[in-house]
Amino acid sequence: MAAQTYLLVDGENIDATLGGLLGARPNPEQRPRWERVLEHARTVWGAPTVRGLFFLNASAGTLPTSFVQALIAIGFTPVPLAGTADVKVVDVGIQRTLEALASRPGDVLLASHDGDFAEHLQALLGTRRVGLLAFSELISSSLRALTEDGLELFDLENDVHAFQVRLPRVRIIPLEEFDPAAFL
Protein backbone atom coordinates (compact mmCIF):
# COMPACT_ATOMS: atom_id res chain seq x y z
CA MET A 1 0.00 0.00 0.00
CA ALA A 2 1.35 3.42 -0.95
CA ALA A 3 1.58 6.05 1.73
CA GLN A 4 -0.02 8.62 -0.50
CA THR A 5 -2.21 8.97 -3.55
CA TYR A 6 -1.93 12.01 -5.78
CA LEU A 7 -5.24 13.00 -7.38
CA LEU A 8 -4.85 15.36 -10.33
CA VAL A 9 -8.02 16.85 -11.81
CA ASP A 10 -8.08 18.32 -15.30
CA GLY A 11 -10.94 20.70 -14.50
CA GLU A 12 -11.21 22.03 -18.06
CA ASN A 13 -11.44 18.58 -19.62
CA ILE A 14 -13.97 17.19 -17.17
CA ASP A 15 -16.17 20.29 -17.50
CA ALA A 16 -15.98 20.32 -21.31
CA THR A 17 -16.66 16.58 -21.56
CA LEU A 18 -19.63 16.85 -19.22
CA GLY A 19 -21.00 19.81 -21.19
CA GLY A 20 -20.65 17.83 -24.43
CA LEU A 21 -22.37 14.84 -22.88
CA LEU A 22 -25.29 16.97 -21.70
CA GLY A 23 -25.40 19.19 -24.78
CA ALA A 24 -25.49 22.24 -22.52
CA ARG A 25 -23.87 23.81 -19.51
CA PRO A 26 -24.45 21.45 -16.55
CA ASN A 27 -26.97 22.40 -13.89
CA PRO A 28 -25.63 22.31 -10.31
CA GLU A 29 -27.12 18.86 -9.64
CA GLN A 30 -25.41 17.53 -12.80
CA ARG A 31 -21.92 18.56 -11.72
CA PRO A 32 -19.49 16.14 -10.07
CA ARG A 33 -19.44 16.02 -6.30
CA TRP A 34 -15.74 16.52 -5.87
CA GLU A 35 -15.78 15.36 -2.24
CA ARG A 36 -16.90 11.94 -3.58
CA VAL A 37 -13.96 11.92 -5.98
CA LEU A 38 -11.59 12.63 -3.08
CA GLU A 39 -13.23 9.87 -1.04
CA HIS A 40 -12.81 7.43 -3.93
CA ALA A 41 -9.12 8.36 -4.08
CA ARG A 42 -8.83 7.63 -0.34
CA THR A 43 -10.50 4.26 -0.49
CA VAL A 44 -9.67 2.72 -3.89
CA TRP A 45 -6.13 1.70 -2.97
CA GLY A 46 -6.23 2.26 0.79
CA ALA A 47 -3.76 5.15 0.94
CA PRO A 48 -3.96 7.03 4.23
CA THR A 49 -3.25 10.37 2.56
CA VAL A 50 -4.61 11.93 -0.62
CA ARG A 51 -3.15 15.06 -2.15
CA GLY A 52 -5.87 16.48 -4.41
CA LEU A 53 -4.70 19.01 -7.00
CA PHE A 54 -7.43 20.70 -9.05
CA PHE A 55 -6.01 22.40 -12.16
CA LEU A 56 -7.85 25.48 -13.47
CA ASN A 57 -7.23 27.77 -16.41
CA ALA A 58 -6.93 31.28 -14.97
CA SER A 59 -5.56 32.91 -18.13
CA ALA A 60 -8.46 35.39 -18.17
CA GLY A 61 -7.12 36.83 -14.92
CA THR A 62 -10.08 35.83 -12.77
CA LEU A 63 -11.04 32.86 -10.65
CA PRO A 64 -14.45 31.37 -9.87
CA THR A 65 -14.05 32.42 -6.24
CA SER A 66 -16.94 30.46 -4.73
CA PHE A 67 -15.86 27.29 -6.57
CA VAL A 68 -12.23 27.72 -5.46
CA GLN A 69 -13.36 28.24 -1.86
CA ALA A 70 -15.52 25.10 -2.07
CA LEU A 71 -12.58 23.09 -3.41
CA ILE A 72 -10.38 24.25 -0.54
CA ALA A 73 -13.12 23.48 2.01
CA ILE A 74 -13.38 19.85 0.87
CA GLY A 75 -9.62 19.31 0.79
CA PHE A 76 -8.40 20.11 -2.73
CA THR A 77 -5.53 22.42 -3.52
CA PRO A 78 -6.56 24.61 -6.47
CA VAL A 79 -3.82 25.11 -9.07
CA PRO A 80 -4.88 28.18 -11.12
CA LEU A 81 -2.55 28.52 -14.08
CA ALA A 82 -2.27 31.36 -16.58
CA GLY A 83 -0.55 31.68 -19.93
CA THR A 84 -0.94 32.89 -23.46
CA ALA A 85 -3.85 31.78 -25.65
CA ASP A 86 -1.63 29.42 -27.66
CA VAL A 87 -0.68 27.35 -24.59
CA LYS A 88 -2.89 24.69 -23.03
CA VAL A 89 -1.90 25.78 -19.52
CA VAL A 90 -3.82 23.08 -17.65
CA ASP A 91 -2.34 20.33 -19.81
CA VAL A 92 1.19 21.68 -19.40
CA GLY A 93 0.72 22.03 -15.64
CA ILE A 94 -0.52 18.46 -15.28
CA GLN A 95 2.25 17.12 -17.54
CA ARG A 96 4.89 18.87 -15.43
CA THR A 97 3.29 17.52 -12.26
CA LEU A 98 3.26 13.96 -13.63
CA GLU A 99 6.96 14.37 -14.51
CA ALA A 100 7.70 15.59 -10.97
CA LEU A 101 5.82 12.62 -9.49
CA ALA A 102 8.20 10.20 -11.23
CA SER A 103 10.75 10.89 -8.48
CA ARG A 104 8.26 10.72 -5.59
CA PRO A 105 6.62 7.68 -4.02
CA GLY A 106 2.86 7.36 -4.19
CA ASP A 107 0.06 6.24 -6.45
CA VAL A 108 -1.48 8.55 -9.06
CA LEU A 109 -5.08 9.14 -10.15
CA LEU A 110 -5.83 11.49 -13.03
CA ALA A 111 -9.32 12.81 -13.80
CA SER A 112 -9.30 13.50 -17.54
CA HIS A 113 -10.14 12.01 -20.92
CA ASP A 114 -7.25 13.74 -22.69
CA GLY A 115 -4.72 11.68 -24.62
CA ASP A 116 -2.11 14.42 -24.13
CA PHE A 117 -1.22 12.71 -20.85
CA ALA A 118 -0.63 9.20 -22.24
CA GLU A 119 3.16 9.50 -22.47
CA HIS A 120 3.43 10.90 -18.95
CA LEU A 121 1.19 8.22 -17.45
CA GLN A 122 3.08 5.52 -19.36
CA ALA A 123 6.28 6.67 -17.66
CA LEU A 124 4.69 6.08 -14.22
CA LEU A 125 3.24 2.64 -14.96
CA GLY A 126 5.12 -0.27 -13.48
CA THR A 127 6.49 1.74 -10.56
CA ARG A 128 3.19 2.44 -8.78
CA ARG A 129 -0.55 2.17 -9.24
CA VAL A 130 -1.89 4.59 -11.82
CA GLY A 131 -5.57 5.19 -12.47
CA LEU A 132 -7.80 7.28 -14.67
CA LEU A 133 -11.13 8.77 -13.57
CA ALA A 134 -13.35 9.53 -16.58
CA PHE A 135 -16.47 8.61 -18.50
CA SER A 136 -15.29 5.23 -19.74
CA GLU A 137 -16.84 5.50 -23.21
CA LEU A 138 -15.18 8.89 -23.85
CA ILE A 139 -11.57 8.07 -22.93
CA SER A 140 -9.05 8.75 -25.69
CA SER A 141 -7.72 5.67 -27.45
CA SER A 142 -4.15 6.50 -26.40
CA LEU A 143 -5.18 6.37 -22.73
CA ARG A 144 -7.32 3.26 -23.21
CA ALA A 145 -4.31 1.49 -24.75
CA LEU A 146 -2.42 1.97 -21.47
CA THR A 147 -4.77 -0.46 -19.71
CA GLU A 148 -2.67 -3.23 -21.25
CA ASP A 149 0.29 -1.85 -19.26
CA GLY A 150 -1.63 -1.57 -15.99
CA LEU A 151 -3.57 1.72 -16.14
CA GLU A 152 -6.74 1.23 -14.08
CA LEU A 153 -9.94 2.87 -15.33
CA PHE A 154 -12.61 4.19 -12.97
CA ASP A 155 -15.85 5.50 -14.41
CA LEU A 156 -16.78 8.81 -12.74
CA GLU A 157 -20.46 7.94 -12.60
CA ASN A 158 -20.55 4.16 -12.11
CA ASP A 159 -17.39 3.47 -10.06
CA VAL A 160 -16.73 6.78 -8.30
CA HIS A 161 -20.42 7.73 -7.85
CA ALA A 162 -19.48 11.39 -8.36
CA PHE A 163 -22.96 12.46 -9.47
CA GLN A 164 -26.28 12.93 -7.71
CA VAL A 165 -28.32 12.29 -10.86
CA ARG A 166 -28.08 9.71 -13.62
CA LEU A 167 -26.43 11.27 -16.66
CA PRO A 168 -27.86 10.81 -20.18
CA ARG A 169 -24.99 8.65 -21.42
CA VAL A 170 -24.94 6.09 -24.17
CA ARG A 171 -23.09 3.37 -22.31
CA ILE A 172 -21.27 0.37 -23.67
CA ILE A 173 -23.01 -2.66 -22.18
CA PRO A 174 -21.14 -5.93 -21.66
CA LEU A 175 -23.33 -8.62 -23.20
CA GLU A 176 -23.53 -10.57 -19.94
CA GLU A 177 -25.09 -7.46 -18.30
CA PHE A 178 -27.51 -6.67 -21.15
CA ASP A 179 -31.17 -6.57 -20.09
CA PRO A 180 -33.48 -6.07 -23.07
CA ALA A 181 -36.30 -5.03 -20.74
CA ALA A 182 -34.43 -1.79 -19.99
CA PHE A 183 -34.87 -0.81 -23.65
CA LEU A 184 -38.48 -1.92 -24.11
Q: Where are the domains of the chain?
A: 4-183
* 178, pLDDT greater than 90: no
Mean pLDDT of the residues in the chain: 92
pTM of the model: 0.91
CATH architecture of the domain formed by 4-183: 3-Layer(aba) Sandwich (3.40)
What are the distances in angstroms from CA 80 to CA 8, 9, 138, 139? 13, 12, 25, 24
Say how far apart CA 150 and CA 129 lie, in whole Å. Answer: 8
Q: Higher pLDDT residue, 172 or 51?
A: 51
Question: What was the pLDDT predicted at 2?
Answer: 55
Question: What was the pLDDT predicted at 176?
Answer: 87
* 29, pLDDT greater than 90: no
* 125, pLDDT greater than 60: yes
